[in-house]
Amino acid sequence: MFAVVLCPILSATVGARPFDAMPACSQAEVKALRFITVGRASLHRPDCNTTSPLSAPLRLDFTYYREIPGDAFAKAARKIIKRNLPAVAFKRLASRIDAFNAAYQTIQEGDRYSLDYHADGTLVLLLNGEAVAREKGDDFASAYLSIWFGERPYSDALKAALMDVGS
């Protein structure tokens, strides 16, 4: 009898992914052209009170309210990373960025992209919970996260809201 009760508990624990259990520390609307709300972003961390909100591990989640072409993600990501990195650093990472961006697919209303930044420096792109791209290296992860958190991010308002981990 004891084994029967224990098995469901163990199977639920074994199958759980640590990123799925992270609380949302902040969230904000994602806007296109500064006024069209296209989705919602949230920053997840094991501890929302950390002094370093962009250190691994973390999850950056995006749930979309409308269709967005996959190539729009890829083009915007490349452009924003390029404007946030010195030319030499961008050149060194460009082929890895392009390979990662090739995984973007056209999404529909309700779809969710997540970026999981692991403690070992691996950045994983997930579409609706399924990994579609993976790249290892803190240099890559830092460059990629500059899209939202760099000196010249996608949106200053989105950056500010996500960095406000007390919200």
Split into its structural domains, the chain has a count of 1
pLDDT digits (tens, 9 = 90+) for 40-95: 999 999 988 887 878 899 999 999 999 999 999 999 999 999 999 999 999 999 99
What is the value of pTM for the model shown? 0.85
Look up residue 46 and give its amino acid.
P
Residue 28: which residues within 8 A CB-CB, separation 6 or more? 40, 41, 42, 157, 158, 161, 162
158, containing H or E segment: helix 156-163
Residue 89: which residues within 8 A CB-CB, separation 6 or more? 139, 143
- The CATH number of residue 68's host domain is 3.50.70.10
Instruction: Give the range of the structural domain holding residue 113, as residue numbers without chain letter.
Output: 2-163
- The pLDDT value recorded for residue 119 is 94
pLDDT digits (tens, 9 = 90+) for 94-145: 999 999 999 999 999 999 999 999 999 999 999 999 999 999 999 999 999 9
